[in-house]
Every structure is written in C-alpha cells, then in structure tokens.
Structure 1
C-alpha cells in the first residue's frame, strides 16, 4: 500500500518515533510516505535523522520528508496526525505559574482547570488552521487523528468548526486496564474484558470481566488496597472508586485536578498524592517531566540516534491507537478501541454535542461506535461539569470573548473551589497578557486587560505549590538512570 501520513508537531521526538515504528509494524505499510512538519527546523532535522536511521537499518522503502511548510506536508495526505503543543514549554510554564499565584495547584494543567483552558485558547485557532489546510490540500476525505491536549476541546473544535473527519486519541484507557489486570492477578491483559466510557481523562470502567467473571466494586477495592505500589500511588483514585463504585482511567495526579475536592486546600493535597513519580500528583509535575525530557534529549541526542539502528519488532508494537486504526481502515482487520468523537447518542446521559471517549470498532467502513451506554449517575454528573467548561472554552476560543473566557475559568470545578470571582477575573487578565503572542483572537482585549492589571488590588502570592520539585540537571538524571540500571 502506498499513501501519505502527515505528522504535525513531529518535533515531539519520542512520541513521533513511537507512532512511526508502530505503523511500520504493519507489513502492508512499508511503502507509505511520512511527511513531518513542525515550527522548529532543528527539531525536525533531529527526528528525521532518527527515522531515517530506522528506515536504513531495516532496509525499508519508506519515504520520510520534513518541512516547516505545513501545507506542503499536508498536500495529498490521507491521514493527518497532530501532536502539537502550541506555545511550547514557555507558555505551559505560565499555565502552571500564574494560577499558583491565586492558590490553584495543578499537577498537569492540560485538560481543564485554569491551565487546560488557556491551553485550549492557544490550540484551537491553530487546530482550525490545520483543518482549513486539510480540506484544501489533503486527500479528499482525509482523516484527522488528534493526539494533542486539551483533547476534548481540540476535537470539538475540529469537528464542529473545522468540519474535518476527526477522531481524538489517548492512552488513558489502556493504562488503566493494565493496572486492573495486574491487581486482579491476570497473566495478561487479554484476560480482562471491559467497557470503559465517559469523556477524555474522566473515563470510567463501568463493566469489568476477568476470564468472563464479573468483577464488582468490593473485589476491585480490595485488590488495589492490597497492591504494594498502587495502594500508595493511587490513593485518590482508590477513594473515588470507593465513593463512585467504578475505577477512573486517569492517573492520580490528573484526576485530582478535574475534581473540586482533593486539591483545594494545600494541607490536604499531600494526603492524596504520592511523590514517587510526577504523574501521581506533584505540583507542576508534567511541566518538570517535560522540561527534563527535552533537556535530556537535546544533550543525549547521539544516543537516541544510535538506538534507532535496531530491528522493528511487531511484538513490541505499542497500544497507541493510531497504527491499529490505520491498519483496520486499510486492511479491514477489525480493531476495537476507545475513541474521542461527538456524542450523538453514544452515551445517553451526557450532552449530545459533547466529545465523549467510548468503545468503538474500526474496519474498512470507518470508526463504528457502540451507542446507548448509560454512565452511573455520579460519573455522569462529574463529566457534565467538565463538559460545560469545555463547551464554553471552545466558544470563547472561537469568538475571542474575554468575558466568556473568564466565565469559563470561573466555572471550572477546581478553580471554583479555590478562587473568588475577583481573583479569577484578574488571573485571566494576567494569563491573556502573558500569552498574548499565542492568542491572536484576544489581541483587541489585551490593552484593556493590561490597564485593569495596573489598577488591580487583588492580592497574590509567590508560591511554588504544595508539592513542587525542582527540575533535575542532566548530571542528576544520569546518576538516577545509572542507579536504576545497577538495581536491575
């Protein structure tokens, strides 16, 4: 088979390489063309060097091109994959730093909460530019696979306003299933069957079967509490499982910032998180991890390039959805996964315009979703709170209405639990001014926001958060990796 796959934001080096090698695990895909595009010429050339090494070592006919000209990369593409992070780590640092001044402590801040909402404001105009290019120069009927966060907002904008055939993809369901299989003592995840449904990062395992036997709440709670690692790392998720009756897909740290109950008091935060890894609740944990990963890659690039000279092993193909979707669409080998699409009856007790994450099957006829699912009422209520924020955020990003943006942030569950309306109004002004270069739709609102900030009397504080760690140096990272190798 010969067709073109464009990857936007291909400078996300590790993830791009994973997608690339996954796709090349499909024998029929050896002749495809990968067109990489990114704003950074330097990052593009680094990832192209790595992928060229993979192709050369495996003696493949695969073509890899790289260009900063996005339209050229998209021209004739059958599939477009987005991994973009608009504003990079500079803007992301503001998503964490500025809300902390107002008492809002986020672990990740890329889905909702103050950081995720501003992330959406930066991303959505760019997503719509992608959609315009796809409609104009890609292969007719091209499919847009969005991996970029905020997942629901980006996918919502692409479907509703971009008018492109779009699916949002995430790996939270797979990771949650791996945990459940482990605590229940399964020999492999294939022994576990499940229905997982909700919205991205708030998806719920509403039916679990281990070798055909239904697993109830009490058995699952006992299994997690008995696990020597997860009992400490996933304390908040276990508490939610006890109260809601079902397990959430999302990590301890991520889940903590979507709910209004666990991160609103600094002295309570440390009770529910675990500091063994960033994903379990550390303040600004993903920002630190992303910064360290970037620094490590830039310093250790020769090692990354050397490690690319290895055989592609289909047995090590990851559980990221993209390669499996493409395989099903092109070869008709059916794939079952969990996909982010417009609701339209998929989940009966969530709004029909929402982007939901739920089971579906892929074959040559497309992505076919299972319809008529009903969530437990508590799960639905929590999802609806986030959906309302997502909808307002999309509308604010499209219109450039700063007043609607402030109402969006005010209605966020965690922000509303921590901050007053006056604090929210000032915080949004501060974030819009700080990120103005990535927020063209708010250009007319920036002068007035600056004026209000110059006269504001709302008190803020310089605060690192309840559980912040410093970015580690390359030397510290090296020492840690060496220690881990020696321990193994």
Structure 2
C-alpha cells in the first residue's frame, strides 16, 4: 500500500490526539504514513508532537510526524483531515455556561444545542468553512474530512452544504450506550447487536438483540433499575426509556439539555441528575472537567511523556471510528459503525436535509448507509425539534444574521421552556458581545447589540446553577486519583 498523509486539526487536544494516533498505528498497513499535526497553540503542539514522536521511536516505526501552526501546510496533500478543534477555547466556553445561567438556563455540557451549543456553532462554522476551503484547494483530490468537533450536527451540516467537502461526523455516544446495555444484560463480546438511529446526541437504540433475541422495553427497564450504579446515574435516561420505549445513546446530563421537561426548574434538576461524575447532570460539568484536564496535562506532562516510551499494545485499539473508517477505505476490510451524514431519506420520518446519526458500512466504495429506518414517533418528534434549531443556527452562522440567531435560540426546547422572548433577545445580545472576537460574521451587529444592552430593562440574576461544583486543584486531582487506585 502506498503511503498517504493524515492531517489532524486541533491536535493540541493532547489526550484525544494521542488516542487517534495510536489507533491508526494499530493498522499494520498504516505504519508508513505521515501524520501532520496543526493547532493555534504552539505550546500544545510541541507537547503532542514530542509525545507522538516518542511513541514512534520507542516502537521503531517508520511513521512520520510533523507539526506546524500553518494549517494550510498541514492539510497540503492530505488524504484524510481529522477535526478536533474547540473554537474560542475554554474562555468562550465559560461564557456559554455563565451567561445563560443569568437567565435561568442551567446546562450540563452546552455544546450541541441549547444556548451554549448554538453559540458554539456560531464560533465554529466560519472556521469549518476555512478548513473546507483549504481542503478543496490543497489537500489530495477527493480528500475526506472527519469531524469530531461539536456541535457535531451543525459543523457537519455546514461542511457538507456550504464547504462542499466530503465530510462525515464522528462521535462515541453509541459505543458508550452499547457498553452499558451489554453490562446490564451480562452480554459477552459478540453477543449484543443493536441498531441506533436519530441525530447526534439524540440517537436511539431502536432494536437491541442478545444472541439474536429481541430485547424489549420492560426487560431493559428492569435491568437498568437493578443495576447498582446505572440506576442512580441514569435516572433521567431510564425515565425516558419508560416513556418513549427506547434507550437514548446520550449521557444523563447531556440528554437532559435537549428535552424541555427535566432542567427547567432547579428542584427538578436535582431530582433527575447524579453528582458522582460530571456527565450525569452537574451544572457546567463538562466545563469543570475540561478545565481540570487542561491543568492536569500541564502539570503531569512528564508522566505522559514517560508513558509514551512504553511499547504499544496493538490489541488495545479503541472503538473510536476514525482508524476503523480509514482501514476500511484503504484495505477494503468492512467496518460497521454509526455515522453522521445528511439524511437524504435514510431515516424516513426525519427531514432530508438534516444531519443524522445512523448505521452504515464502510469499504473501498465509501460509507454506505442503511436506508429505510423509521424512528418511533416520540423519538422523531424530539429529533425534529432539535433539527429545526440546528438548521436556523447554521443559516444564521453563514449569513451573520443576528435576528435569525435569536429565533434559533428562542426555538430551542430547553431555552423556550425557561425564557421569555425579551430574555432570549437580551441573552443572545450579551453572548454575541462577550464572544465578538470569535464571531467575525457578526462584526456589523456588535455595536447595535451593545446599545440595546445599555438600555435594557430585562432583569437577570447571579446564579451558579442548581448543582455547581468548583474546579479542583492539581493536589485534589492527585488525591482523588490515589483514592481510586487504592479502592481498586
């Protein structure tokens, strides 16, 4: 097999980039490739290049690793481009959580829809289109763009429809949900089969089979409620399973943001979440987790570097889709996964222009989706509400239309359950002003938004949310890690 080049944009996401890289090296035919890393942070780029180069040297591989802050140079000649960026970093992300709290909107993650996810999309989409321009102009002809960055549906929608690049969106929610179901049913490797379909972060296990036997709602409910951990951590997901008849792929905290019923009152939030880990519903949980991880990487970098000198365990390949897709495309070994692509009739009761997440098979002919899936009506209704918000958000980001942006936020299910139109209008003005440096398409609207804010009579409040935890220090993280190791 001839060598080829992979570019990773946002490679400064050190832990995730290392995982993608080691997964790729687990494919024997891929050890002679070039991996080009690019990021706006020279500091992070140096760290990750040093780690990956150490892995290559320790395993005596011919793999070439390069790093540059010149994105176009990294993309030049690449056959595959993987996107892991977080536009605005943790600074902008903090505003995605902080400002909506002033208006009563309590988010756990805020990276998909809701107020935070919509603004995240506004920051991402202009940059996504810049990536696509570079791919069209300097990448290998027919290059494939693999997007891991959230908001998944909006980013993928913009890249396909406006960037005109062959794009697939990738997430790991399906795999994690499948692991949970396997655990509660006591399934061994290869015994559990399922079909998940819907939209990213609202994908549904519409068919679950254990050794070929179909597993129904009542059996799933009983198994989840009997599980000593999941029965507490996934209370909201279990309630949705009881009412909808199918289990959602997304975590308890994430799912709570997309539905207008569970996070609209503080007392209801605490009823449905679990504070054992951020992902189960904690206010701003992912922001805290991400902040702690950034600090942890900075302080513990020598240990990460030392671990990179160990021999690779080529059997320890993760279930992240990227390496498996590349393997199927390059070798013809068929891979089945769940992918984010334009619907075009694959799911019969979702709009054709929507970005769906649904099963497909990959081989040398590309990604081939399984067509003709019909979602249960409640699942479709929930997805369509989000799709309508996503569509408006993408169009607003492309046009720099602040009025359409406000309408998108107004139609968000959770925001609409909490805020009045006047509150939404002011909240969006405040978020756009706070994030102006990452929103070039709204430059013409910033002065008017500032003027409206100076004259506004809408009342806000100082509120940390229903279930906020402080960011832990490095010392506290070390102590927690030591406690967990001792318990094991």
Same fold per superposition (TM over 0.5):
yes
| Alpha-carbon distance in structure 1 between the residues aligned to 2:99 and 2:388 | 23
- Equivalent-residue separation in structure 1 for 2:368 and 2:472 (angstroms): 45
* Whole-angstrom CA distance in 2 between matches of 1:377 and 1:31: 49
Spell out, residue by residue over 1:366-415, the C-alpha distance to the aligned partner (whole angstroms, 9 max, x if none).
Answer: 00000110000000000000000000000000000000000000000000
Q: TM-score, normalised by structure 1?
A: 0.99
Aligned to 2:233: 233
2-side partners of 1:316 and 1:271: how far apart?
38
What residue number does 1:321 align with? 321
1:140-193 CA-partner distances (Å, limit 9, x unpaired): 0000000000000000000000000000000000000000000011123x2100
Instruction: Output the CA distance in 2 between the equivalents of 1:485 and 1:345.
Output: 49
Q: 1:200 — aligned with what?
A: 200
Q: How far apart, in 1, do the equivalents of 2:175 and 2:478 lie? A: 30
For 2:332, the equivalent position in structure 1 comes to 332
Aligned residue for 1:315, secondary structure, equals coil
Structure 1: runs of 5+ lacking an equivalent: none
The Cα shift of 1:309 comes to 1.1
Report the equivalent of 1:433.
433
1:244-293, Cα deviation, whole Å (9 max, x unpaired): 00000000000000000000001110000000000000000000000000
SS in 2 for 1:23: helix
Task: State the Cα deviation string for residues 421-461 of structure 1 (Å, max 9, x = none).
Answer: 00000000000000000000000000000000001011001
TM-score (norm 2): 0.99
Q: Deviations over 1:17-60 (max 9, x none)?
A: 00000000000000000000000001000000000010000000
- For residues 15 and 123 of structure 2, the distance between their equivalents in structure 1, rounded to whole angstroms, comes to 23
Question: 1:485 deviation in Å?
Answer: 1.1
- Runs in 1 of length 4+ with deviation above 6 angstroms? none
Counterpart of 2:315 in 1: which secondary structure? helix
Any stretches of 5+ residues in structure 2 without a counterpart? none
Alignment partners' CA distance in 2, 1:386 and 1:336: 26
Report how far residue 484 of structure 1 moved: 1.0
| Residue matched to 1:52 | 53
Q: Any idea what the Cα deviations from partners look like across 1:205-225, whole Å, max 9, x if unmatched?
A: 000100111100000000000
Counterpart for residue 40 of structure 2: 39
User: Is the partner of 1:314 in helix, strand or coil?
Assistant: coil
Alignment partners' CA distance in 2, 1:391 and 1:129: 20
Residue 463 (structure 2) pairs with residue 463 (structure 1) = yes
Deviations 1:344-378, CA, capped at 9 Å, x for gaps: 01100000000000000000000000011000000
Pairs within 5 Å for 1:333-482 = 333-482=333-482
Q: Which residue of 2 aligns with 1:167?
A: 168
SS of equivalent residue, structure 2 residue 205: strand
The yes-or-no answer on 1:486 pairing with 2:486 is yes
Secondary structure in structure 1 of the residue aligned to 2:104: coil
